[in-house]
Structures are given as C-alpha cells and as structure tokens.
Amino acid sequence: MSTTDIKTLFDAGAHFGYVRARRHPTAAAYLFGTKDRTDIFDLEVTTLRLDAAIAFATSVAASGRQVLFVGGKHEATGIVKDAAERVGAPYVAGRWIGGTLTNFKNIRKRIDRLEQLMSERASGALEKYTKRERLMIDREITELLGRFGGLVKMTDLPAALFIVDTRHENTAVLEANQLKIPVIGLSSSDCDFSLVQYPIPGNDTSVRSIALVTNAIGDACMEGKSAAATAAAKNAVSGKTTEGK
C-alpha cells in the first residue's frame, strides 16, 4: 500500500472512529474532525502510518523473526487467522491468555503437550488407552487447540505484535510493552495510542477495514520472508563460488 491508496481506505470505511464521547485523548492527533458526533480519521495520516507499519513488518520478516497476529473480537478472528496462516505466522484469534508473552516458558509447555498428543493420536499410539481415556485425551486436545493452536509455530518470543483493536487487546499490549516488544496496532479513536509503537489509526470494527489492514501487514511479512530467502540463496551461491576458487 502506498500514499495513493487513500480512496481504498475511504471505501473500506477506515475513516470512521467512535462517537466523540468515547475518544481517548491520544487519538486527537490522528483525527480530521467530527461529523454527527462521530470522530473522523485523517486518512492522509493513516496512510503514512500504515506505510511505516508495513515497512517495519517487512524488516522484521526479512530478518527471519516472527510477527504475532492478534485479534480476538468477532469481527477480526477469521481475518486474523486466515492472514496469519497464509504467511506462516503465529496468531491468537480468540481470547488472549494472560501470560502468553510474560510467562511464555510455561505457555510453551502447554503447546508442547498439544503437539505431543496430536502426534501420538496421528501415529495410533493412543490405541493402548481405553475408550474413555481416549475420549478424555481428545477433549484435552480440543481444549488446547482452542487456547494455543495458533501459537504452535511460535517457538520463542515474537519480534513484534500486530493487533486489531489495541483497546480490546489491552492485556496483550501491556505484556508486549513490559517486554519491550513493538506493537503494530489498528486502533480506533477509543484506543490509547501512547502504548502502540506503530499505530494505524482507523476503523477497527468494520470487517472491510480490518481485512484491508491485516492483509497489508500479511503481505509485508510475505515480502520480507521472500527477501530473506532470496538473500540466503545468493549467499549460498556466493559461498560455493568462493569455495570453487
């Protein structure tokens, strides 16, 4: 996305914030004005911020690190999950489990347990248990998948978070801030922009707006991974050439 995509953002309804009474003081710098008591974002500013977020997400992926996608509100869950899976990124498309970042060591143990049980079920190793025991294990797998299924690819803390609605995902934002992990956030006028390092001011409730921004960040991650793969291939060829000499 470039600075010429203001119309695309407008068509997606990204300019609509909440009613003025819900405005967080830090949102004022990103607003164009108020219409019928509804805050309206300045899409020129939104576009610049989105460009900055895209550049950052690309650099993170190009360095071989991960961006964790987060979106638990019902408008965002499917979009966030699809975008993350498309780029091979970890995600939380549901309720954020407290300690996902700040207590990651123990969270990872639960993920390892999930992977172990799924591997044993796939290999037939669970056949040694009784029917009731297998039923209980299946229930445990279902529960773990619901809580941690999107985090299986996250073997270490992420280098950044992309969050839809930073107010709704306040716990995730605070955990990231505590660990000094940068946050890219699609944030409406009720959000605290001071907690977000790469804010994308815009409508975080409209499905079209969420999809537009989420997919833009997903594409940035894909571009970064592609650049990293190209660089690695060139280095490999260069190394072989040097050895040949």
CATH number of the CATH domain containing 196: 3.40.50.10490
pLDDT of residue 233: 80
Q: Helix, strand, coil proportions of the chain in percent (round to 5)? A: 60, 15, 30
pLDDT of residue 3: 44
Asked if 16 and 132 sit in the same domain, the reply is no
pLDDT of residue 231: 81
Asked if 75 and 65 sit in the same domain, the reply is yes
pLDDT of residue 32: 97
Residue 143 belongs to what domain range?
A: 103-153
- pTM confidence score: 0.90
How many separate domains does the chain show? 2
Asked if 95 and 114 sit in the same domain, the reply is no
Could you tell me whether strands 198-201 and 160-164 are parallel, antiparallel, or unpaired per DSSP bridges?
unpaired
pLDDT of residue 245: 59
Q: What angle (nearest 5°) sits at the alpha carbon of residue 171, between those of residues 166 and 177?
A: 80
Residues of the chain with pLDDT below 50 are 1-4
pLDDT of residue 1: 46
203 in Cβ contact with 188 (< 8 Å): yes
Asked if 32 and 114 sit in the same domain, the reply is no
